[in-house]
Structure 1
Amino acid sequence: MTWSTREIADLAGTSLRSVRHYHQVGLLPEPDRRSNGYKQYGMRHLIRLLRIKRLVDLGFGLAQIAELGEGDEHPDEALRALDADLAGQIERLQQVRAEVAEMLAERVPTDLPPEFARVADRPLPEHERQFASVMGRLLSDDERVLYAELMSDDARTPTDDDFDALTDDADDASRQELARRMNEDVKVLRERFPGLSSLGGANPARYRRIVEQVSDEVFNAAQLDVLRRMKALRQGTVT
């Protein structure tokens, strides 16, 4: 009993294109041809094709299947490796599902990393949300946990609200006083969160450059002026 290419593809539950591709990459041996030039596939081709189809459906790549060879040996080691990979995928998918459920329930912004979204109990000002989104990309896993603590209501002060509400028409005295108060708050935060001073430690120069670029985009002129005044206070160039 022999089959045509179309017939063996149907029997194996695959496509003509796949059968031809398996021939091209050397996974499936070429069959003999009839006198009319048409291929005639036998049982060994069908069994081989069924094995390839099964392994592909399980998640094996064609290169992996080629490494297994054409023998009948049970691929214990390859299956164990696949099982471990699938277990990892399931764990990641479960984490993703948990995040999606949280995003649906809390309606948190989709650009915030999970650590930040979980503490965003209050509506974040647009500039704070944008800044936090970028920080989520700049910081390491441990640093994101720390930054999430800084975003929590417990770490906020009235000064933070004053900075959020600062407008460009704020006078010089108000800006300087706000810079002084914020500088004092930062001193307290650095005592409370020792790791604050080393954020972006994996690449400090890149971290500082991007923070400055983002600040220029998300803060208004008065807020940027207050940040410059704070830097001057820290450096002792302003009394």
Structure 2
Amino acid sequence: MKSGELAHMAGVSVRTLRHYHAIGLLPEPKRAENGYREYEAEHLLRLLRIRQLASLGLSLEQIAPMLDELDAERREVEGRDGGDGTSDELGAGAEQLLDELDRQLVEQIAHLEHQRELIRHIRTRQTDPDYPERAASVLEAIDAFERQTSAHGFLLSALTDDDKIAMGIAAHLYSDAELAEIERIFRAIPERGLIDEYLRVSHLIDTLPGNASAEERERAIKAGMAFLDKIADCMDVSNWLRPDKDYERMLENMAMVHYNDAQIAVSDELFLRFTERLAQRNV
């Protein structure tokens, strides 16, 4: 048989044959006088066995020792009792490979079942498939919050295009604990009747002129602190005391791009003081 004929009968490509030769998985046949490889029936059987093991999920690196062990076992059986070369038991190496393959398949099945469950949730809850399902609750809380406020605020209520990008990134990259904190905050504000105060503080910061006096800045900081104190129990202290992550610094820079110097200074000082207050409560 020529390589094309062998490949056709085995259901593989000629390029696959060459690869199997290169990695030593399929023995090289003798060449005819014209230089072409001449394959025998044993090569076809070897190729079909490789394809069968690959269909089970074994890698090419696993298939080679599996075939070697199976061949050795068959030779041993033939030499022992003159049988047909088949054995009722697999060797330890083959058993170990099959056990590992079975474990991997169990994990894959569990992963596929989880994916199906996520798809079901997406359909029933009308959530967006391009966002993690675990972020659905926090995104719903923010959407509900912005419908009630109808205004942009200093906690970023996902109203501007930049805010929507920021919250989208957070939905993908924040941990479950961080997302849960955001959800608690945005649900607590309307539940505690704090929307008007939130908007007043936001307006106070957003209208600060670039040359705001020290007194004006301090007034805005104190107003922010008074508001944050009313939702401090929603905060997970560990989220505030750890170093900022790369994407958090990027999101902060996005949020501050439209702020003037005074607003940036007030925002930085506000969250610095509040973080210190949280740390003191945690002592």
Measured on the aligned residues, the alpha-carbon RMSD in Å equals 3.5
List per-residue Cα deviations over 1:86-108 (Å, max 9, x = no partner). 22123223323433444455243
Q: Deviations over 1:175-212 (max 9, x none)?
A: 3464133331343324xxxxx110277xx3343x6534
Distance 1:65 1:163 in 2: 67
Q: Tell me: higher relative CO, structure 1 or 2? Use CA pairs within 8 A at least 6 residues apart.
A: 1
Match of 2:271 in 1: 231
State the match for 2:128 in structure 1.
108
- Per-residue CA deviations over 1:64-101 (Å, capped at 9, x if unaligned) read 22232434355332222122212212322332343344
Identity score, percent? 25
The aligned residue for residue 65 of structure 1 is 63
TM-score of the superposed pair, with normalisation by structure 2: 0.63
Q: Is 1:198 aligned with 2:196?
A: no
5+ long unaligned stretches in structure 2:
74-89, 144-157, 210-215, 278-283
Q: 1:39 to 1:151 in 2, by over 3 A?
A: farther
Partner residue in 1 for 2:152 = none
The partner residue of 2:181 within 131, 147, 150 is 147
Q: Give the TM-score taking structure 1 as reference length.
A: 0.72
Identify if the C-alpha distance between structure 1 residues 135 and 119 changes in structure 2 by more than 3 Å, giving closer, same or farther.
Answer: closer
Shift of 1:140: 4.1
Q: What are the equivalent positions in structure 2 for 1:1-239 lying under 5 Å apart?
A: 3-72=1-70, 74=90, 75-103=94-122, 105-108=125-128, 110=130, 112-121=131-140, 122-123=142-143, 124-126=158-160, 128-136=163-171, 139-141=174-176, 143-144=177-178, 146-147=180-181, 149-150=183-184, 153-154=187-188, 157-158=194-195, 159-160=197-198, 168-169=206-207, 172=216, 175-176=220-221, 178-190=223-235, 196-199=236-239, 204-207=242-245, 210-219=247-256, 220-221=258-259, 224=264, 226-231=266-271, 233-234=273-274
Q: After superposition, give the CA deviation of every residue in 1:116-148 in whole Å (9 maximum; x if it has no partner).
A: 22332252434554444444566444x246335
Gaps of 5+ in 1: 191-195
The alpha carbon displacement at 1:170 in A equals 5.1
Q: Secondary structure at the match of 1:199?
A: helix
How many residues were matched structurally? 224
**Aligned mates of 1:95, 1:128 — CA distance in 2:** 31
When structure 1 is superposed on structure 2, of 176-185 and 23-32 the one drifting more is: 176-185
Contact preservation (8 Å) 2:3, 2:39: yes
Whether contact under 8 Å (1:32, 1:40) holds in the other structure is yes
